[in-house]
């Protein structure tokens, strides 16, 4: 094997082994949720990724013990993004929470593309939930 073929092989291996870099973005959302046993919700928000702002739409449903109505103003991060469209999809989590008048809430969700949303913030309203939730996120 010549030095030229070894150098070419090393170049090919190095070029194809370079991983795609995933980044994080900032997410802000206002989501309203309500229901009795089956909870439904939706809202709007923003993804800030690489100094650009992308409007988002949230929708969702929870199954389990959900009673009441609340609105949450959430903020946090979206992890493992390669491009803004990666944030789109259905996110799942198992969680519980409670809000009476004013409360705190947090959630960690993951979609099929591996994007993780970690959001927290204040909730206003009356709600008690112990539920499996599915949340859809799409770019507007």
Q: Is residue 15 over pLDDT 80?
A: no
Q: Are 89 and 113 in contact (CB under 8 A)?
A: yes
User: What pLDDT, in 10s, does the model give residues 23-72?
Assistant: 999 999 988 877 765 667 788 999 999 999 999 998 875 655 566 777 88
- The confidence band for 17, taking pLDDT boundaries of 50, 70 and 90, is very low
Q: Is 10 helix (H, G, I), strand (E, B) or coil?
A: helix
Average pLDDT over residues 128-135: 62
- Comparing C-alpha atoms, which of 16, 100, 87 is closest to residue 48? 87
User: What pLDDT, in 10s, does the model give residues 86-117?
Assistant: 999 998 874 545 444 456 667 788 899 999 99
- Tell me which of 21-35, 74-88, 104-118, 123-137 is least confident: 123-137
Q: Are 59 and 134 in contact (CB under 8 A)?
A: no
Evaluate whether the domain defined by 21-139 bears CATH number 2.40.128.
Answer: yes
pLDDT for the residue numbered 31: 83
pLDDT for the residue numbered 54: 98
Answer with the residue of higher pLDDT: 5 or 17.
5
pLDDT for the residue numbered 101: 46
pTM: predicted TM-score of the whole model, two decimal places: 0.71
Could you tell me the residue ranges of all domains in the chain? 21-139
pLDDT for the residue numbered 100: 46
DSSP 16: H
């Amino acid at each position: 094997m010549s030095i030229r073929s070894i150098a070419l092989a090393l170049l090919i291996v190095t070029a194809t082994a370079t991983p795609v870099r995933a980044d994080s973005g900032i997410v802000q959302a206002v989501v309203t949720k309500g229901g009795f046993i089956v909870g439904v919700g939706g809202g709007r928000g923003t993804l800030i990724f690489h100094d650009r702002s992308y409007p988002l739409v949230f929708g969702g449903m929870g199954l389990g013990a959900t009673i009441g109505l609340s609105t949450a103003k959430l903020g946090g991060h979206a992890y493992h993004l390669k491009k803004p469209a990666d944030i789109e999809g259905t996110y799942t989590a198992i969680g519980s929470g409670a809000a009476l008048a004013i409360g705190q809430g947090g959630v960690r969700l993951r979609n099929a593309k591996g994007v993780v949303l970690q959001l927290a913030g204040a909730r206003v309203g009356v709600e008690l939930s112990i539920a499996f939730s599915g949340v859809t996120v799409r770019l507007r």
